[in-house]
Structure 1
Amino acid sequence: MPGSSIPFPELLQDSDGGSNEAFESLLKRADFSGFVASRDLPPLRARLLKLEREKGVTDLHRWVSERVLETGARLVETPRYTSPQRSFALSPSGRHLAITSDRVDPYFGGELRVWELETGRVVDVHGFNEGVGGEESSCVQWSPSGQWLGVIFNQVAIGVVRAFSQARPSFTVDITRRWGSPPAWAFKRPEDAANRGHLPAWCWSPDETHLFVSTPGPDGALGCIVPFREGAALNEDSEGLRWCPARSGTSHSSLNPHTWVRWSHDGSRLYGYRYPLGGEWDDEAHDYTGVGSASAIDAGSGALRFHAGGVRLPVAFSPDGSRLVHGGERRGYAERIELVDGHTGHRLATLSEQIPEPEEGEPTFSELVWSPDGKRLAVLMDENYLPMICVFEGEKLLCQLEIESPPVVVETCSDRRRWAWSPDGSMGACLTRGGGVELWDIGPVPRRIRQLTGIGGLNGLVWGADDTLVGIGHDALAFWSATSGELRAHASFAIEAGHIPPPKSWFPWPNEPGQFLPTERGWAFTHVYPDGTVVCPPGTREQLESRLMFSVAGRHAWPWRWAIGTRHTRLDDRGPGPARSAPEREARVGTLHISHYRAHPVFERGPDLRRDSLAPHVGQMVLLSFSDSYSVIDLASLLEVTEDGVRIRRQSHRGPDPEKLIPFSSIHWIGPAVLLDEPEHLAGPKGSAE
C-alpha cells in the first residue's frame, strides 16, 4: 500500500495481543508490497482468526483478503468424501503432508493432496486419471529440498510433480515391466502375466539429480539408477540408465531387489531391506519363509557392500542408514530384536536381552521407530497383560512406558506407525485404543504429559513442525497441537451409513470430478474453481464454507469465507439443486443399480441392529454393508431375520447362498432401500439414469 510506513514483520509484532481497533489501525497502514506469504501469512491469519472468534467475519477480513489474494492464489476444496487414503509422506519442513487416494468413484482416477498442518486443510491438489500410491511403504516421497513429489502410478510407474503447483507429472519412469512381470503360473491365462510390471520401491538421490528404482534387471541387477530430468519420460530403452549388478565380490548373487530403499546422505550407498508379504518364497517348501533380508549397494559400482539374511518384521534403518534393527529368530517364548551395523551388516547387540520377559503371555515386538536424529529407538511390544514401549538410547535400554493397549496395525509393510517422535527426540506420542494419543516426556524417568482427544478410525501418527501431531486413518485425519492438546482440525471422508456414492451419470460435470452432499432424498452436486467461483445449490453453502481455502503461494490456506463479497469470489447457486421426485419409479425398487438407492431408516451395528428392528422389513429390498470374505455393499431381498442374523438374496447373485445366515456381528449397517430422486438436470427422457 503506497505511502505506508509500517513493514509487515514490525506490524505483526506490534499488534500481537493488542486491541482489535489498534490492530485494524496498524494493518491499514501496512506496506503490502513487502508482504511475504511464508513469513507473514501464518501470524496474520492467526490474528484474524482471533478477531473472527470475537466478532465474526468483519469488513477488515474482506479488506485484508483483497490485498493478500491479489498476490496470487487459487481456491482449493478439502474434500468431504474420498476413497480410503493409501499412502502419505511428511514434507522435509514438517509443515505439509502429502496423501494419495482414489477419488470416491475410481472412474475419475486418483488424487495427490497436500495438507497444511497448521490449518488441517488442503492447499494443493494433483488429479490423475490413473490410480496413485499404494498400501506399501514409500509410495509417495518428497525430494530432499521439498520442491518435488514422486508417486507410484498404476502400481508400476513413478511420476514426479512439482510440489505446490497443481501441475501434471513433469517426469515419469517406467522400467519395471520387462523383468518384473509376475510368473505365468500365477494366472489362469499365461498371457495375462505379460507386461504387467510390479510396484517398485524407489528413492531420491540426496542432490535430486537421480532416482533409484529397486526392480529386477538384466544380468541379475537389483535395481537401476535413473537420471531425473524435468520433462523426461524414461523406460528400459532410455539412455543414461545405470543398472546395479547383484554382485558381491566375484560371485554372482541370486538376490532379489529391496522392497524398501533409501539413498545415504553422502550419496555413496543405497541401503534397504526386502520383506515381501509373508517373507521370501521357498520353491522347495512351496510356502513363504517368514523371513527377509537387508543389504547395501555401492552407488558408484552398483555392487553389494553387504547382505544380511534372517530378517523378520519389524524392521527399520536409522535415518542416516548407519544402523539397522530387526526381528530375529525366536528365543524361548520371546522374539529377538537385533541391532546391526548398517555399513557392514555385523551384529552390534541383541536389544531384546535387556527387556525383562513377562511373567505370563508371549510378547510380540510389533513396531520399531527411530527418533529423527537416530539417537533413540522406540520398540513397541504388545501382549495381553502389559503393553509397553521400550526406549533405547545407543545400545542401552533407557526406559519403559506402560500405555493403553493400542489398536492393531495390519499394514506391517506400510508407513503407518502408532509411535511418533517429536522433531528433537525429547518427547514421543503413542496412538492408543479409541484413537486417543498419549504424550510422553522421554528420559530415564519418563513422564506422561497428557492424553489427547480420541478420534475414531486412526491407525497412524506423525509429528510435524510447530508441535503439530497428525493422526492418519483410511477415512479420517486429525490435527492436534502437542503444546496445548487442542484438536485443531478433524476430517472424516467416509460416506454416511446408509449411503453410497451417486451414479456417475448424475454428475453434472461428466469429464471432471465434483463433490456431492446428501439431501433428504438424493444428492446435491457442487464444484469449486481455482478462480474463487463456487457452484452449489441453495442451502449447501454452509456445509462447504469450512472446507474452502485459497492456497496462497501454493502452501498457505486463506479462508474463502473471509473473501466473500470481494472480487476474488463468486457464488453460483444455479447448480443442480434438490432433485425432482419420481414417485412413478417407486414400484420398481430393486430393478436399478444400487447407486440409485439409500437405506432409510438405517440400523447400524450395535443395540439397534436386532430381530425386532428388522422383522417388519422381511420381504422388502434392503441396502446393506457387511463383511463376508471382504467388505460388501449390495442391494438384496431380506428373506428372514433370526435372533442371530439375517438371510438375504443379493441383487448381484454373488456371495452367500440364501440358506447362509449372516450374523449381526458381520453387518455394518442395513435398512430398507429407498429410491433416490435424480437431479433436475437429468430428469426427463433424455436424462434418465436407468
Structure 2
Amino acid sequence: MDAHGFTPPPDASAADAEAQLRAADWHAFDARRDLEPLRAALLRLEADDGVTDAHRFATERLRERGALLRHPGGLRGDASSHALSPDGRYFAIGSWTGDDHQRGTIQVWEVATARCVNVLDEIPGGVGWPERFRNLQWSADGRLLMGELGTGGIVGWDPFADRAEPTAAATVRPRRPVGFALSPDGSWIFLHRCDGNTSTQSGTSAGLVPVAGRGDPDTVPPPWWPGDAAPHLGLNGAVLIPQVSWFSAASDRVWMFGEWQPGTRPDSQYGAALASIDLRTGQLDWFVETELDGTDNAHRVALSPDESMLVLHHGDTLEFLHPATGNRLGEVEAPFRTARLTWTVCQGQPRLAVVCAEIGMESSVKIYEGVDQLCSLMQVPQPPEPAFSDGIALAWSPDGERAACLNEGGNVEIMTVGPKHDYVDYFDAPKESRGLWWGAGDVIIIAGPRNLMFRNLTTGETIGDFRYPPDTGTDRPLWDNSQDLGRHLHPDPTFAIDADRWVAAFPEGVVIAPSGAELLDHNLAWSIDRRHAWPYRWGPVEPAPGVAACFETLDPAARAILAPLRDRPTAEPVVEWPPPNTATVDVLYDAIGESFEAFSETWLPHVMDATRRIARQRARAGDVEAAETWLRQISSRDWDDYVRFKAEVALVLAANGNPRAGARLHCEAAIDASHGVSDSALPFVASAVGATFAALGHPERGQEWIQRAITAIDPDHNPWEHRIAVCWALLEGGLDDRARQLWTDGEDGEPADANGWLAHLIRIGRDDLMREILYDVGEDWYSFRDAVAVFTAAGRADLMREFFEYYSHTPDEEDIESLAEADRNAVTPRPNEFDIAELRHRRAELLRAPSSERRVDTIRLAWRAAAAQHYDAVLDMLKLLPYKDYDDQPETAVRSLWMALTGVDDDAW
C-alpha cells in the first residue's frame, strides 16, 4: 500500500481494495500524486475481477470532488492547430469557429489514455490560421498554452482551467496572421509582425513582447528591445519579416527565418534569410541569406533539440550551421527539392530526418547524423497538406532510436533507425491523417483535419480513434423542432458516437444515448482536475433514452435551456418537414422587427435601408398602419432618411389605392423637404414629393420638385443610384414618359440592384417597360444567366422563351431545366408540390452536414423557402441562425422577405 492509502497493492483482492479505499482519507487526495498509481492498480484489478465495488466507490469519491464527464466532440470546424506538450503527456488541438464566430475551441487530451480531459470553449475567432504552423505553443513547464486567435490576438490559457478566459496576453494586432514564438519560461513572446517596432535597431519587423497577466490587451506593453543596439554591420537598414522563430532554452537568443521586407535590401539578390538575435544586446548578430521559395518557407529551417545545429534548406543544398555563430558546419546536396525537417537526439548525437514533401517518391526519408547521411528509409510518406501545417509524416521516439512514418498508403510503420534499420510495427491509419506525434509512454498520435487516433506501441492497441465532426443524418438528442438546443450549452454535450447515432454527455455525468450504444466507454471519460482521465465504465453506466427521463438530474443551467424537451416523449415520431404552412408573409416582417431591436450604431446604415424598403412594401400591400409603424423607427435626428422615408411611403400609398393616407404623409414630407436636405438625398426626396403630386391628380404642382430631382442627379455618387430611384418615383406617379426619357439619357455603369429592378417591373405588370430595359437601356446590365434567373423566379417561362428568341439562342440542357423550373414556379398556390419536394430534399442534405458548418446552407434554405412562400419553413431556418451579427439572422430575414416578394435575391422596390 502507498504511503497515502489510495493505491491497493498488486496482490490485493477486490474486497481488500474496496476496504482500503473506504478507509483512506479522501480529503487528502492529490490527483497529481495519487491518480495515476490508483488508476493503474484498479486496471490490474479489473483485468482479474472485472469492474468491482472498489472501482465504483473510487469513482463516486472522485465525482464528489468535482470529476467532470468529457467526450471527444466539441470542435466546431476542422482542427487548425496541434501541439504536443514538452513532456509528451498532453496533446492540444485548436479549431476554428465553424458558423459561430465566438465558438473557437481548444481540446486537451491525455496521451496515456487517449481521452479528452479539458475543453476551452468560446474562443472568439477561433484558434490558429490555415497554412501557418506553431499557432499553439506550450511553455516548458506545461502550465501555459499560447495561441493566435481572432484577427491577430496572441493570448495564453491555462490548459487545465475550467474556462476559456485567457490568463495571459502578449498582444492584439489588426493583422492576420501575426506569428510568434513563446519563450520556454512563458514570460516573453517574439512577435513576428508588430507596429511601432525598432526595425533600424533590430533589423527585423518583429518585436520582443512581455507576456502580461489576465489576457487584457490594454495592459500589454508595446514591443521593445533591451539596450540601445546599433544596426548590424552591413545590414544597411534592411528589415527581415519572420515566418518562423524559436527561443533558445535559456531565452537569451531567438533564431528566425523569413523574407526581406520589399525595398529594404536592394543590394541583395536573395529574398530570405535565417538570422539570430542576441536578446541580451538586442542585436541581430548573424544572418545567412537564401532564395525565397514559394509558400513553404516556414518548413525550410529546423533547430536540433540540444541547440547544437541548425539546418537550412536552400532548395539545392542542405546547409548545417552553428546556432551561436552562424558558422557553416557542413553543406550537402539536398535529397528533395521540398521537404519537412525534423530533429532528435540519439545517444548525445543530433539526428535529422529529411522527409520528402512531394507525391509518390520511394525512399523518401533520408536520415543524417551530424552532417553525414546515416541511412535511407524505404518509405513513401504522406505529402503535407498546406492547411494542416503542423503535421509532419515522420515522428521520432523520445530517445531518437526509432521513427514512425505515415505513408501514402494510409499506414504507419515503426522502425529502428541506423545503418541496419529494422521494421518493428505496422498498422493502418485513417486515410485523412496528415501528421504524427510521438508522446510519452510510447503512444503514437495520428491526426488530420477531422480525425485523431492514439496507438500504444507497448501493447499494440489502438486506444483511441475519433472522427470530428462526423456526417450523420439523424436528429440529435437535444433537437427541438428545427434547432439543436445543445449548441447553447458550453461545452456542447452532443457528439456522434458513430456514423448514425448521436449521444449527449453532460459534464455532471448525465448521458443520453440510444439503446445499444456499446461504444460509450470508448468515447467518454471522467476528467479529474481537467488533467487525468478516469474510465467511464467504472462509474454508473445507465444512459437515459431522452431529456424527459433525466431532466431533474441535469445542471440548472442545462435545465433552463432544455426546458422545451422536458415533457417530450423519448420515442416521439419524426415530424414531417416542412411543417404545415399556416403563417403569412407578416411573420417575416415581425421576425425582422424583433431582430433589429438589438442593434447598435454599428449596423445602423443596414438597418435604416432595410427599414425604408420594408415600409414601402407595407404601403404597397395597403397596410397603412404597418407602414407608419416602420416609419416611426426612424428618428428626425437622421433628417435625410427621415424625410426620404416619409416621402417614399406617401408616394406608394397614393399610387396604390390609399390616397387619403398618402396625402396626409405627403403634406408632412413636402413641408419637411422644403426645409432642405443634403445634395445626395435631394434626388430621392424631390422625385418622391413631385411624383406624389402627380399620383394625387396634381401633376403641375410636382413639376418643380421633379426638375430639382433630375438636376440633382450625380452620376459620380454611385452609378445609376440617383437616376433609377428617380425613374422609380416617376413610374409610381404614372409619369412613364418622363421616366423613359430619364433612363434613355442614361449614364455610365449599371445599378447595384439591377436584378431587383427587372423583377420589380415584372411584379407590377409592366412587361413592356421590362423589355425596354432588358433589350435597350440596360442591355449591358444583365448577363445571360441574370435574366434567366429573374424569369425563372417569376415563373415566366414565356418571357424566357422570348428572351432566347430575341438573341437567337438555342436552349441547352441548363436552359431547358430553367424553363421547367419556371413552369413549376408558375403553379399556384405556392408552396406547390414541387416546392415541398425540393425543400424536403435540401433539408435532408443540410442535416447530413456537420452542425458547425451549416450556416450558409441554412441561409440558402431560408431563401428557397421564402421564394416558395413557405413562411413556417423560413422561420424554422431563422431559429437556427445567430442573431448578434446583422449578417446572420437579421439579414437572412430581410433577404428572405425580398425573395418572398420578388423571387430574386436583390432589394425590393
- Normalised TM-score (structure 2): 0.54
Alignment partner of 2:313: what SS?
Answer: strand
Alignment partner of 2:510: what SS?
Answer: strand
Other-structure match for 1:42: 36
User: 2: CA distance between counterparts of 1:424 and 1:249?
Assistant: 41
Structure 1 position 214, deviation (Å):
1.5
Other-structure match for 2:324: 343
User: 2: CA distance between counterparts of 1:217 and 1:250?
Assistant: 24
Other-structure match for 1:173: 170
Asked if the contact 2:210/2:221 (under 8 Å) is kept, the reply is no
- Match for residue 120 of structure 2 among 109, 113, 126: 126
Structure 1 position 377, deviation (Å):
0.7
Query: What amino acid sits opposite 1:327 in the alignment?
Result: H
- Match for residue 460 of structure 1 among 435, 444, 453: 435
Asked if the contact 1:507/1:525 (under 8 Å) is kept, the reply is no
Alignment partner of 1:75: what SS?
Answer: strand
User: 2: CA distance between counterparts of 1:326 and 1:504?
Assistant: 58
Q: List per-residue Cα deviations over 1:341-372 (Å, max 9, x = no partner).
A: 2233333212337x6xxxxxxx5452211005
Structure 2 counterparts to residues 69-468 of structure 1, below 5 A: 69-79=63-73, 82-103=76-97, 105-127=99-121, 128-135=123-130, 136-167=132-163, 168-177=165-174, 197-218=175-196, 219-220=198-199, 221-231=204-214, 233-234=216-217, 239=221, 241-243=223-225, 247-249=231-233, 251-274=235-258, 292-310=272-290, 313=297, 314-329=300-315, 335-352=316-333, 363-371=336-344, 375-381=350-356, 384=360, 386-403=362-379, 405-411=380-386, 414-468=389-443
Choose between structure 1 and 2: higher helix proportion. 2
Q: List per-residue Cα deviations over 1:616-672 (Å, max 9, x = no partner).
A: xxxxxxxxxxxxxxxxxxxxxxxxxxxxxxx989x9xxxxxxxxxxxxxxxxxxx96
Alignment partner of 2:441: what SS?
Answer: coil
Structure 1 position 36, deviation (Å):
3.5
Q: Which has the larger Rg?
A: 2
Q: List per-residue Cα deviations over 1:154-192 (Å, max 9, x = no partner).
A: 140111111211331022233533xxxxxxxxxxxxxxx
Structure 1 position 387, deviation (Å):
2.4
User: 1: CA distance between counterparts of 2:252 and 2:326?
Assistant: 16
Query: What amino acid sits opposite 2:314 in the alignment?
Result: G
Structure 1 position 459, deviation (Å):
0.6
Asked if the contact 2:310/2:321 (under 8 Å) is kept, the reply is yes
Distance 1:454 1:231, change over 3 A: closer
Query: What amino acid sits opposite 1:550 in the alignment?
Result: W
User: 1: CA distance between counterparts of 2:359 and 2:496?
Assistant: 43
Alignment partner of 1:351: what SS?
Answer: strand
Other-structure match for 1:508: 485
Alignment partner of 2:32: what SS?
Answer: helix
Q: Which has the higher relative contact order, 1 or 2, with Cα contacts under 8 A spaced 6 or more apart?
A: 1
User: 2: CA distance between counterparts of 1:63 and 1:71?
Assistant: 13
User: 1: CA distance between counterparts of 2:194 and 2:236?
Assistant: 14
* 2:20 paired with 1:14: no
Structure 1 position 495, deviation (Å):
2.2
Asked if the contact 1:508/1:525 (under 8 Å) is kept, the reply is no
User: 2: CA distance between counterparts of 1:504 and 1:258?
Assistant: 51
Distance 1:519 1:418, change over 3 A: closer
* 2:585 paired with 1:585: no
Structure 1 position 411, deviation (Å):
2.4
Q: List per-residue Cα deviations over 1:423-460 (Å, max 9, x = no partner).
A: 11111111112432111112222111121233321110
Distance 1:72 1:8, change over 3 A: farther
Q: List per-residue Cα deviations over 1:285-317 (Å, max 9, x = no partner).
A: xxxx99632111121332211122215553312
Distance 1:526 1:578, change over 3 A: farther
Distance 1:254 1:490, change over 3 A: same
Structure 1 position 253, deviation (Å):
2.7
Larger deviation, residues 155-164 vs 496-505? 496-505
Larger deviation, residues 212-221 vs 91-100? 212-221
User: 2: CA distance between counterparts of 1:155 and 1:319?
Assistant: 32
- Match for residue 523 of structure 2 among 536, 543, 547: 547
Alignment partner of 2:140: what SS?
Answer: coil
Asked if the contact 2:14/2:52 (under 8 Å) is kept, the reply is no
Q: List per-residue Cα deviations over 1:578-612 (Å, max 9, x = no partner).
A: 66533373899xxxxxxxxxxxxxxxxxxxxxxxx
Other-structure match for 2:61: 67
Structure 1 position 134, deviation (Å):
2.2
Aligned length: 556
Distance 1:176 1:685, change over 3 A: closer
Other-structure match for 1:637: none
Distance 1:231 1:540, change over 3 A: farther
Query: What amino acid sits opposite 1:345 in the alignment?
Result: G
Asked if the contact 2:238/2:261 (under 8 Å) is kept, the reply is no
Asked if the contact 2:68/2:509 (under 8 Å) is kept, the reply is no
Distance 1:511 1:433, change over 3 A: same
User: 1: CA distance between counterparts of 2:444 and 2:85?
Assistant: 14
Q: List per-residue Cα deviations over 1:202-242 (Å, max 9, x = no partner).
A: 1222333222212144343522222223225246x954641
Distance 1:512 1:394, change over 3 A: same
Query: Structure 1, unaligned stretches of length 5 or more?
Result: 1-5, 178-196, 330-334, 356-362, 589-646, 652-670, 679-683
Distance 1:142 1:246, change over 3 A: farther
User: 2: CA distance between counterparts of 1:427 and 1:204?
Assistant: 28
User: 2: CA distance between counterparts of 1:113 and 1:520?
Assistant: 20
Alignment partner of 1:375: what SS?
Answer: strand
User: 2: CA distance between counterparts of 1:521 and 1:556?
Assistant: 28
Asked if the contact 1:523/1:579 (under 8 Å) is kept, the reply is no
Distance 1:9 1:462, change over 3 A: farther
User: 2: CA distance between counterparts of 1:121 and 1:520?
Assistant: 17
User: 1: CA distance between counterparts of 2:480 and 2:349?
Assistant: 50
Structure 1 position 470, deviation (Å):
0.4
Alignment partner of 2:212: what SS?
Answer: coil
Alignment partner of 1:248: what SS?
Answer: coil
Alignment partner of 1:490: what SS?
Answer: strand
User: 1: CA distance between counterparts of 2:383 and 2:139?
Assistant: 31
Query: Structure 2, unaligned stretches of length 5 or more?
Result: 552-561, 582-812, 818-839, 848-871, 879-909
Asked if the contact 1:32/1:67 (under 8 Å) is kept, the reply is yes
Distance 1:442 1:114, change over 3 A: same
User: 2: CA distance between counterparts of 1:553 and 1:515?
Assistant: 19
Asked if the contact 1:223/1:243 (under 8 Å) is kept, the reply is no
Distance 1:13 1:86, change over 3 A: same
Asked if the contact 2:473/2:844 (under 8 Å) is kept, the reply is no
